[in-house]
């Protein structure tokens, strides 16, 4: 897609980020979480299609490890390959920063995201029981890892 571009997230972007976050998730991140991530220097990025912000991601880096904390595409833009483009972009940022592996957690019920990660090359390495809040209780997280060493 030639009309896709990326930009680092700023504190002033968080209102728009929250609109996407709240549209996409039953238990979205809060303003405070995004502010902490931006202020802490995490890799916080926005993806645009044309002039419309269609998603965001947050990656933490520590030594030779990275952790994909959030990757979100607006529900009405899902299924168009934007999630894969954003994942590819953020993984390349991790690689350029010297990370050797990227970890993530995904809701066990989020099969479309888990399939995207598997197609990309992530492998399930574990499960965190009752990790996520869910309607009516808690939900397991699949823990996945992707080697950045070529």
Residue 44: CATH number of its domain: 3.40.630.30
Kindly compute the dihedral angle of the four CA atoms of residues 55, 4, 69, 88, in this order, to the nearest 10 degrees.
Answer: 150
How many domains is the chain built from? Answer: 1
Based on the residue annotation, tell me whether 105 is a catalytic residue of this protein: yes
Q: Which domain does 67 fall in, by range?
A: 4-147
Catalytic residue among 42, 117, 132, 146, which? 117
> What's the pLDDT score for residue 134?
87
62-68-101-96 Cα dihedral, nearest 10 degrees: -70
**According to the model, what pLDDT value does residue 95 have?**
96
pLDDT at 2: 78
Segments of the chain scoring below 50 in pLDDT: none
117 is catalytic: yes
pLDDT of residue 135: 84
Q: 16-33: per-residue pLDDT in tens?
A: 999 999 999 989 999 999
Q: What angle do CA 43, 119, 128 make, to 5 degrees?
A: 65
Q: Are 41 and 59 in contact (CB under 8 A)?
A: no
Active-site residue, selected from the candidate residues 105, 132, 139, 146: 105
């Amino acid at each position: 897609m030639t009309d896709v571009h990326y930009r680092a997230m700023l504190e002033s972007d968080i209102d728009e980020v929250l609109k996407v976050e709240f549209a996409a998730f039953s238990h979205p991140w809060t303003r405070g979480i995004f502010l902490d991530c931006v202020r802490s220097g995490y890799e916080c990025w926005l993806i645009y299609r044309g002039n419309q912000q269609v998603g965001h991601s947050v990656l933490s880096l520590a030594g030779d490890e990275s952790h994909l904390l959030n990757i979100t595409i607006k529900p009405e833009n899902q299924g168009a390959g934007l999630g894969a483009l954003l994942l590819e972009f953020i993984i390349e940022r991790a690689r350029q920063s010297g990370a050797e592996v990227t970890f993530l957690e995904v809701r066990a019920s989020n099969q479309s995201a888990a399939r995207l990660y598997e197609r990309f090359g992530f492998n399930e390495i574990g499960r965190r029981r009752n990790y996520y809040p869910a309607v009516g209780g808690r939900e397991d997280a699949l823990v996945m890892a992707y080697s950045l060493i070529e």
